[in-house]
Amino acid sequence: MLNIEDISKGFGNHVLLDHTGFQINSGERVGLVGRNGHGKTTLLNMISGKDHPDEGSISCPSGYRIGFLSQKIVFSKSRVIDEAMLGLLEHEKDHSWKAEKILAGLGFSLDDLTKDPMAFSGGFQVRLNLAKVLVSEPDLLILDEPTNYLDITSIRWISRFLVSWPREVLLVTHDRGFMDSVVTHIAGIHRRKIKKIKGDTAKYYLQVAQDEEVYEKTRQNEEKRKKEIELFISKFRAKARLANMVQSRIKTLEKSKTKDKLQQLKQLEFSFNSLPFSGKQVLSIENVSFGWKTDMPLIKNFSVTVYPDDRIAVIGKNGKGKTTLLKLISGALTPVSGRIHINPGVIPGYFEQTNVQSLNDNFTIEDELMYSSPDSDRQIARNICGAMMFEQDAALKKISVLSGGEKSRVMLGKLLMSPLNLLLLDEPSNHLDIEACDSFICALDNFEGAVVLVTHNEMFLHSLANRLIIFKNNTVQVFEGTYQDFLDKEGWEDEEEVVEKKSKPSVLSKKELRQKKSEIITQKSKQLSPVKKKIEQLENDIEKNEHLTAKINDLLLEASQNKEGQKIPALAKELSDLENLNDRLFEDLETQMELFEKIETLFNNQLEEVER
């Protein structure tokens, strides 16, 4: 268990955390969210001992071990397996099987285990760092953006791994779908405070919005009440017989604390500049082949046509050719054979995840944007600087002083400068926070042009893709359908598992079939029972509330007819409270009934699948 109590942290005049804290209890998997620059990394550094709070304390039980995934790549061994084994506990130093199991899950083959870590790509080096942390089996596993360099199959593996992790997890990631699949709780840094709730990101952001709405309504009511008191004091200060009442209100004013109006928080405001295109086809790829070695083609005889309204996601394991395909389309690479034809009138914009080196360190952010689109004026560049959260003097920062995430935002800003009708995007979300990812998805959805996107973020895939280019089983294929269609029809099984499925179909005996159906029915009843009880309870509460509402309504009518003015306000308030309660009860009932239907449908589908 980790206890963070009443901590404060700032740098100069910039306060990140102000007398706040939370706990991570036994077995909890906590997702840490918050906007970039609001203190997530600083908090992780304080928990891991790399930094310390200005005030407050961070404590854990004696012997409690914390494992932290470092983004720094430093290897001391000449073989992958030996490097991974460095993370093993002292009494397990020779347990190579533990390291082998985790390395396999992260995509390393048996042959890879004896290779030099420095011979691998940056993505695989990050995976090796992750393996070193995982084999140590810490009490608290801290992961800061672990999915940035992992492909979909590795992300899905680590998701299952973390869900089965028996101890605590603290996770920071921009991949909202991945976070929701793993965590039991969300802790969010918002307005220099940390708020922790049980549930996923959707529940957290809804709770924050509701809290801010309540705060603002309370502030407005207090402001209104304060003005009424001030008016009373001003009006009756000279009345001797009301002196006690006036003094009482003066004391009330002195004791009352004024709530500050909540400042509007800035966030990335993506809006791509769409260039109209009247053609039927944006580009065509005809029998294209490419490989770094002639006898080992990455792409072989691949063809696809891209249409103006396409949202094509390019997916597959790392190192299979996804980025290479985007480079071929952009013209950065030339195919060995075949043809790529971009139709006249198509203006592409290309974002490459590693292309921040192309930025000029001596330029300011504003200069870099202006240079990318010489026909644009300075005001347009300034507006885009503001949209990318480089406001006012921040737009005059030199590229050389920016962080990796800030440079990535500059690269995205350059795409916003010119009118485009084709976007080629290679992992654009890696340096964005969750709020920015949501905004980015909306901007892509609203873009009036074609999008070809390489991503491992399954939320992006589910939200955007209407077609897929899939690198799988050493082939490149076009899949006509959504990502969910792909998961339903094919999925992410390894090639060996696919062969096994085809050669050894699973057939249940009649006895096994009856047992399986019985298990499903029992599980269905077990999950539906508490929901059914909740529905019955809500229906009873609604019936009782409606009877009481009718009774109060009658009393209100009676008081009105009898001109009993003193009773009317209290009865009217009680009636209003009952009506509000009834609204909430009906909302809860609707939610529970939807849940009941989902559970019933899920298990009915399982029964149908077993019977087939």
pLDDT of residue 498: 37
- pLDDT band (50, 70, 90) for residue 36: confident
Ranges of each domain in the chain: 2-205, 206-255, 283-493, 510-611
CB neighbourhood size of 564 (10 A): 12
447-483 per-position pLDDT tens digit = 999 999 999 888 899 999 999 999 988 889 999 999 9
Q: Sign of the CA dihedral 541, 546, 551, 555?
A: positive
The token pair at 495 is 């090639």
Across the range 264-287, mean pLDDT stands at: 84
What is the assigned CATH class of domain 2-205?
Answer: alpha beta
**pLDDT for res 408:** 82
Lowest model confidence (mean pLDDT) among 99-113, 204-218, 231-245, 337-351: 231-245
State the amino acid at position 321 in one-letter form: G
The tens digit of pLDDT for each residue in 84-142 reads 999 998 888 988 998 998 898 888 999 999 999 998 876 688 789 889 998 988 999 99
Distance CA 314, CA 325 (A): 9
Alpha-carbon torsion (605, 156, 151, 178), positive or negative? positive
> Shortest CA distance to 187 belongs to which of 27, 22, 28?
22
Task: Give yes or no for a contact between 358 and 306, defined as CB atoms under 8 angstroms apart.
Answer: no
Task: Name the CATH superfamily, with its identifier, for domain 283-493.
Answer: P-loop containing nucleotide triphosphate hydrolases (3.40.50.300)
Q: How far apart are CA 326 and CA 320, in angstroms?
A: 12
The pLDDT score that the predictor gives to residue 372 is 83
562-589, pLDDT tens digit by residue? 777 778 888 888 888 888 887 788 778 7
pLDDT at 127: 84
Q: Are 364 and 381 in contact (CB under 8 A)?
A: no
pLDDT value of position 198: 94
Output the pLDDT for position 440: 87
Choice between 244 and 144, residue whose per-residue pLDDT is larger: 144
**How is residue 327 written in tokens?**
């480079």
Give the orientation angle of helix 510-561 with respect to helix 567-611, to 10 degrees.
170
Q: Which of 416, 400, 319 is nearest to 365 (CA)?
A: 400
29 has a pLDDT exceeding 70: yes
Contact 283, 342 (CB under 8 A): yes
- Rounded CA separation 415/408 (Å): 11
Dist. CA 183–CA 496, nearest whole Å: 31
Taking only the tens place, the pLDDT of each residue in 318-374 is: 888 899 999 999 998 999 999 999 999 999 999 886 667 778 889 999 988 888 887
Number of H helices, E strands in the chain: 18, 18
Q: Which candidate, 386, 337, 340, 336, places its Cα nearest to that of 365? A: 386
Q: Which range (75-84, 409-418, 488-497, 599-608) has the least confidence?
A: 488-497
- Please check the confidence at residue 537 and state whether its pLDDT lies above 80: yes
pLDDT digits (tens, 9 = 90+) for 422-442: 999 998 887 778 888 888 888
In the predicted model, is pLDDT for residue 266 greater than 70? no
Tokens of 444: 């892509």
What are the backbone dihedrals phi and psi of residue 87, each rounded to the nearest 5 degrees, phi first? -80, -10
Average pLDDT over residues 200-229: 86
For the chain, give the percent of residues with pLDDT over 70. 93
| Mean pLDDT to the nearest integer, 408-435 | 86
Which whole number is the average pLDDT over 478-490? 91
For residue 325, the Cα-to-chain-centroid distance in whole angstroms is 27
Say what the pLDDT of residue 354 is: 65
Q: Which residues pair with 468 in a beta bridge?
A: 313, 479
- Which pLDDT score, from 0 to 100, does residue 568 have? 80
Please report the pLDDT score of residue 512 as a whole number: 64
Q: What is the per-residue pLDDT for 345?
A: 92
502, pLDDT greater than 80? no
What pLDDT was estimated at residue 495? Answer: 39
What is residue 85's predicted lDDT score, i.e. its pLDDT? 94
Higher-pLDDT residue of 62, 510: 62
Mean pLDDT of the chain: 85
Residue 227 has pLDDT above 80, yes or no: yes
Alpha-carbon gap, residue 598 to 594, rounded angstroms: 6
Q: Out of 205-209, 275-279, 283-287, 395-399, give the one with best mean pLDDT.
A: 283-287
Q: Mind listing the pLDDT tens digit for each residue in 11-23?
A: 888 899 999 999 9
